[in-house]
Copies of this chain bind each other. A is one copy, B any other.
Amino acid sequence: MKIPAIAISRLSVYARHLARLKGKGTEIISSGRLADMCGVNPAQIRKDLGYFGDFGVRGVGYYVQELLFEIRKILGSDQQWRLGLVGVGNLGLALLKHREFTNNGYTFVAVFDKRAKKIGIEINRLKVQPLEAINYAVEKKGMEIGVIAVKPVLAQEVADILIRAGIHGILNFSPVQIECPMHVSIENVDFSIKLEKLCYKIKSQRF
């Protein structure tokens, strides 16, 4: 069964809100309230979860902790994921410290840069290494996701090195389209699509 990518994104959103509820000590949430929080309707939640099983209790709603546990299992965010960062410019440094990467199941196990002047610098107890060290990190440190935060002109070259080294997935912050074989998963974080959407909303508000 093919599960739409957008359903997976929504599961992330549900998990976010469930984690917040759990933090506040909420044990049960009605499907209507959870839907409101997530900006969807209850049928949408039911449908998205329905791809994976039967959750929720009719007339009660969802058990917060249980549903969060199940969604994390579905998403794989209950596991540990080993990340390698390529590019320690401002963006790379911001990502290393960003809460989303330091919380949860993500660990940076290695940091790389192409620039000789960056090699050897220690950031978050990791020494910046040259791109030639990527192979070793994949093979010996189990690095499975490469985070690309280099200049656009270098992004494909870096991706090729990661792919040859046997990486499983790439999170690309560089505003270019990276060519990638089918067996390597890729996600692009694209600021400009959000910015254009925002401008469109502002424009629509005006008229």
Cβ contact within 8 Å between B12 and A196: yes
- Does A133 touch B at the CB level, under 8 Å? no
How many chain A residues have a CB neighbour from B under 8 Å?
Answer: 59
With A145-B202, A169-B202, A191-B100 as contacts: A8 and B95 at CB distance below 8 Å: no
Chain B proximity mask over A79-96: 1 for CB below 8 Å, otherwise 0:
101000000011101110
Chain A interface residues (CB < 8 Å from chain B): 5-6, 8-9, 11-13, 15-16, 20, 74-77, 79, 81, 89-91, 93-95, 97-101, 104, 106, 144-145, 152, 168-171, 175, 177, 183, 185-203, 205
28 intermolecular pairs with C-beta atoms under 8 Å apart: A8-B196, A8-B200, A11-B196, A12-B192, A12-B193, A13-B193, A74-B200, A76-B196, A76-B199, A76-B202, A76-B203, A77-B199, A79-B199, A79-B203, A81-B199, A89-B94, A90-B90, A90-B91, A91-B94, A168-B202, A169-B198, A169-B199, A169-B202, A171-B194, A171-B198, A185-B202, A187-B201, A189-B194
